[in-house]
């Protein structure tokens, strides 16, 4: 990975003298952009069997600021603050969901020119197996036409949103995770996405994702394999077909995992493969998931339904999940969303129904 760091440094030095603009530092701050959201969020869980019900209502404020560019450099700051209005189980429900009432989730310095960008600090990352907010260094190289190459290293991570907030924590026992992700779009309607991750003394995993989409239909074939340091190697694959007809977006797919360890450590740091809201057993050992989705817009209202069934483990247990999502844009700034989750699992006393609702004002 030192070779990657050296390459990034050389690219930065070679381009730093050719990319500039006329802004002063003062003007960069004056022309910076501020964005914010104010959200009221409600959650209720109707647990089955021996589990207790839970619920909460909270308020959330997100505030972000990004300076304009000065000689290719810019900086970003972001905060998320939450407040409890109601909880069904006093001292439990809100505290379990929000580990911190206020947190700085973005604090990064970025350099960018026509060929690359480098960002250092707290930032949001959305890759196939790396998500949420991370304390990281990320370089994106776009100097090769039709290719976007992402290289990065993250050491700490946190899930932060309107419904859940945790403090940044060390990942992989403070050894972090390295990633190289390439997205190639040389061929019309096709994206090729090879990638490689390395978590020292834990696992290396790599994969390849093929996607084809046009206005009418699409398909995805995705395979990932882990080389584990302390147990059997894991793997996971996904096949999906998509169809768009008369405004109705349909998809159906299959996800399968390795017999003994499932996906291994592949899904430890984030995932984008499962379409289910929870999907608690999708990455388990010997898991076989069949899912289907349907989405349809009606003016400013979008309705989406997701159903998935997973057979997993040596006893071939079943887990079934149904999601119903309604999103409505009241205005350009004001929106609301409602999500219903029904989860059932064989020989499990944590079956439940959940309802999430929020109304958000963004500006």
Q: What is the DSSP string of 233-281?
A: --EEEEEEEEEEETTEEEEEEEEEEBTTTBTTTTTTT---S--SSS-TT
Adjacent-strand bridge partners of 39: 60, 360
Q: How far separated are the first and last CA of the chain, in Å rounded?
A: 40
Between 189-198, 249-258, 294-303, 346-355, the lowest mean confidence (pLDDT) is in 346-355
Helix (H) or strand (E) holding 325: strand 317-329
Binned at pLDDT 50, 70 and 90, residue 52 comes out as: confident
Whether 20 has a pLDDT exceeding 50, the answer reads no
CA 284, CA 133: separation in Å to the nearest integer? 25
pLDDT-based confidence at 18, cuts 50/70/90? very low
With pLDDT > 90 as the criterion, what percentage of the chain qualifies?
85
CA angle 257, 260, 265 (to 5 degrees): 65
What's the CA gap between 147 and 6, in Å, rounded? 20
Average pLDDT over residues 45-57: 85
pLDDT of residue 21: 63
pLDDT of residue 47: 87
Higher pLDDT, 236 or 22: 236
pLDDT at position 4 is 44
- Residue 346: per-residue pLDDT: 84
**How far, in Å, CA of 181 to CA of 151, rounded?**
6
Does the structure show a pLDDT above 60 at 278?
yes
Average pLDDT over the chain, rounded to an integer: 92
pLDDT reported for residue 64 = 97
More confident residue, 24 or 77: 77
Span 178-193, average pLDDT: 97
For residue 3, pLDDT over 60 is answered with no
Instruction: Over range 110-123, report the average pLDDT.
Output: 95
Binning pLDDT at 50, 70 and 90, where does residue 6 land?
A: very low
pLDDT score for 110: 97
d(CA 84, CA 59): 7
Query: Looking at residue 25, what is its pLDDT?
Result: 86
Instruction: Look at residue 350 in the predicted model and tell me its pLDDT.
Output: 74
Calculate what percentage of the chain has a pLDDT beyond 70: 93
DSSP 171: S
Task: Reply yes or no on whether the pLDDT at 11 is more than 70.
Answer: no
Average confidence (pLDDT) over 33-53: 90
pLDDT at residue 348 above 50?
A: yes
pTM given for the model: 0.89
């Amino acid at each position: 990975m030192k070779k990657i760091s050296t390459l990034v440094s050389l690219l930065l030095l070679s381009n730093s003298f050719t990319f500039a603009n006329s802004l002063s530092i003062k003007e960069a701050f004056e022309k910076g952009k501020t964005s914010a959201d104010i959200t009221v969020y409600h959650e209720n869980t109707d647990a089955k069997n021996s589990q207790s019900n839970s619920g909460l209502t909270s308020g959330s404020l997100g505030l972000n600021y990004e300076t304009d560019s000065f000689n290719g450099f810019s900086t970003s700051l972001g905060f998320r603050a939450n407040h409890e209005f109601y909880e069904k189980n006093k001292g439990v429900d809100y505290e379990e969901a929000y580990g911190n009432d206020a947190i700085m989730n973005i604090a990064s310095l970025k350099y960018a020119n026509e060929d690359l960008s480098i960002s250092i600090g707290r930032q949001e990352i959305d890759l196939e197996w790396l998500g949420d907010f991370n304390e990281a260094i990320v370089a994106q190289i776009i100097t090769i036409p039709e290719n976007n190459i992402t290289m990065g290293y993250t050491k700490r991570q946190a899930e932060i949103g309107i419904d859940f907030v945790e403090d940044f924590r060390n990942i992989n026992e403070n050894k972090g995770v390295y990633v190289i992700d390439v997205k190639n779009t040389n061929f019309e309607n096709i994206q090729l996405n090879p990638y490689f991750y390395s978590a020292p003394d834990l696992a290396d995993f790599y994969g390849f994702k093929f996607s084809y989409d046009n206005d009418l239909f699409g398909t995805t074939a995705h395979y990932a394999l882990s080389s584990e340091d302390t147990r059997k190697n894991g793997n996971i694959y996904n096949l999906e077909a998509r169809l768009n007809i008369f405004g109705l977006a349909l998809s159906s797919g299959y996800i399968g995992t390795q017999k003994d360890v499932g996906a291994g450590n592949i899904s430890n740091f984030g995932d984008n493969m499962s379409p289910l809201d929870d999907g608690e057993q999708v990455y388990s050992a010997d898991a076989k998931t069949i899912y289907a989705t349907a989405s349809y817009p009606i003016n400013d209202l979008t309705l989406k339904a997701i159903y998935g069934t997973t057979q997993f483990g040596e006893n071939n247990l079943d887990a079934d999940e149904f999601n119903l999502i309604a999103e409505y844009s009241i205005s350009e700034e004001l929106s609301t969303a409602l999500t219903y989750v029904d989860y059932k699992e064989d020989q499990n006393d944590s079956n439940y129904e959940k309802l999430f609702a929020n109304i958000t004002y963004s500006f």
